[in-house]
Chains A and B, each alone.
Chain A
Amino acid sequence: MDLPMSVASTSSVDLALGHRAAHKPRRLRLFAYGLLAPSILFLALFTYLPVVRVAIESLYDTPHGTGAAPSFVGLGNYAKVLADPAFRQAAFNNLVYAVGVLVPTLVLALAFALAVQRSTRFATVLRTVFFFPSLVPLVAAASLFFFIFLPGVGLLDYYLGKIGIHGPNWLGDSDIALWSVIGLTVWKNAGYYMLFYIAGLQNVPRDAVEAAMIDGANAWQRLRFVLLPALAPTTAFVTVIALIQLLTSVDHVIVLTRGGPSNATNLLLYYIFQSAHENFDYGKAAAATLISVAILLAISFGSLRVMERGARGDG
């Protein structure tokens, strides 16, 4: 996320309106705010105010369906959420899920990018194959993997069986299920992040790579000492958008496992969804939402620094 805010802009319309309204800078200001107004209206309704609203409502207990007035409970909902084993499990799962997806995804994305960066016909086909999963709905991917993970007759067990391996119950075993969901997500996302590495590789100065070759650096050394440092901003960027994505999409969990077995695949957003949509515990859902908003903001603001450093090349 490059944020070049220093671009000077004395615009044509500044000039044009300037002729007509040089003595009315106020009009120009109102004009600018007028152009922004439709966006700001919807951002206020669905991005800014919801945070305030959920912060306030997390302090109340709202009984569902009884029509009783919400009662102020202070931090009671937070205490309830933090003490809830399902929430702790979801938070821990989400951490495992985030790291478990992120690391292989980044490695594969870079490996794919290195493999397909040339513009041969073969490379173009491969690029399509790797990218394609990121284009289909996560729900559709979940539907496919529902069959792939099917015990005994599913795609995975069918072919594992042919080579004599008896697979575990991919979605039914609480020790395995989260890793199955991780596998699906890696398959779905790696090709998307590959695109950023392809773009990043195009910006690596040729001279640096050639100099390293002349110095006798082998492929691994060129990767380790030339490409990876040059790609650091790409890696930082991809890490941040991936983390945000891994905290805010649970379509596959809803379709495949409903958080089970015994909360083994419960993730933060699924916990929120479940509290609000199935258990109608609004206060709990509100408190958990605010906790997840805090995590998202921490990641984003923490990463702005990282990425600025990365962009300057001294980090």
Chain B
Amino acid sequence: MAKLDKQVWPALGAALLSAIAFLWASPFLWTLVASFRPDGAGSADMASLLPDLHPTLENFRTALESGSFGIYYINTLIVVAGVLAVQCVTVSLAGYAFARLRFPGRDLLFYAFLLQLMLVPPALIVPNLRTVVDLGLYDTLPGVMAPYFASAFGTFLMRQTFLALPRDFEEAAAIDGAPWWAIIWYVLLPMARPGLIAFAIVSVTTHWNEFLWPLMVITSPANQTLTIGLAAFTMGAESGKEWGVLAAGTLLVMAPLAVAFIAFQRRFVDSFVFSGVKG
């Protein structure tokens, strides 16, 4: 009986888990299957999760032709890279100041930074849009990026990373007469790479996926990002009943991050845990 217990319960548990995992993965399984399904399969069985015997790339071609995905990819890349590049500078400098320097008002300023974790940019789309218009950045990619140039989360993460580093190296460099920027660039940042990479992964994921703010800022088709293109595309699919094309379009938007995730799984998971636990 005890032996039976030891074998039966884990097996039942594993079966239940597998069933739940299958349920969880089914939207993605459907996307994969439907995007390669030929148009002639008929819409009655469109929802079937069984792969079609004659896969086709037709849906991807239609998707790529009906939306300007090339432009969307480029715009999204520009936004993601631009935000990250500026953030790396701002969060490294601020993280360093909070970790290593003593100055009046430091604690107060630190709490002021953390306020951004609560007043997240989406909550302030209405006044921020006015500010972007005032700055002449309406309908431009810099307008999409600007609210994210400062990052409380990144500052906090870099501060924690710097605090965990030994001071010996910077002290040696300082005694050798290295200027402050050389100490940060050549001594601290190479050691802080795990922190920076974790931050980069979270930042890239966030801005690759972002929708509401670019939707507010961008009006001309030439400046649209992937998520906006996909949303327009989804509304279009509604009338055309082109579910295979919709699946293909969705896959095109998700693919880059999904591939990166599968390639660097551990890193992704660690970064997101790091981001939550520390920030």
Residue on A nearest B251 in the bound complex, by CB: A140
Is the Cβ of B124 less than 8 Å from the Cβ of A51?
Answer: yes
Cβ–Cβ < 8 Å partners of B174 in chain A: 12-13, 15-16
Contact bitstring A41-68, B, C-beta under 8 A = 1, else 0 = 1110111111101100100000000000
Report how far A273 CA is from B215 CA in the complex, Å: 10
B229 to chain A, nearest CB (A): 10
Q: Which stretch from A172-180, A244-252, A306-314 is at the chain B interface?
A: A244-252
- A residues in contact with B107, CB < 8 Å: 5
- Whether B44 is near chain A, meaning CB under 8 Å from some CB there, is yes
Whether the pair A145, B100 counts as a contact (CB closer than 8 A) is no
Q: Secondary structure at chain A's binding surface: helix, strand, loop or mixed?
A: helix
Contact between A293 and B180, CB atoms less than 8 A apart:
no
Of A3, A40, A277, A292, which contacts B216 at CB under 8 A?
A277
The answer to whether A11 touches B212 (Cβ under 8 A) is no
B209-A136 in contact (CB<8A): yes
Tell me, in angstroms, the Cα distance from A196 to B155 when the chains sit together: 21
Residues of B contacting A146 in the complex (Cβ-Cβ under 8 angstroms): 234, 237-238, 246
Known pairs A248-B123, A276-B129. 11 more at Cβ < 8 A? A14-B100, A32-B101, A35-B101, A39-B90, A48-B115, A125-B21, A139-B253, A147-B243, A153-B43, A187-B27, A293-B123
28 contacts between A and B (CB under 8 A): A1-B114, A3-B114, A11-B101, A11-B167, A12-B167, A16-B180, A31-B180, A32-B97, A39-B93, A39-B150, A46-B146, A50-B128, A57-B127, A131-B272, A132-B261, A139-B211, A142-B234, A143-B233, A144-B250, A147-B246, A153-B44, A251-B211, A269-B122, A276-B216, A285-B126, A293-B123, A296-B120, A300-B118
Interface residues of B (CB under 8 A from A): 13-14, 17, 21, 24-28, 30-31, 34, 43-49, 89-91, 93-94, 96-97, 99-104, 106-107, 109-131, 146-147, 149-152, 155, 163, 167, 170-171, 173-175, 180, 183, 205, 208-212, 215-216, 226-227, 230-231, 233-235, 237-238, 243, 246-247, 249-250, 253-254, 257-258, 261-262, 265, 268-269, 272-273, 276-279
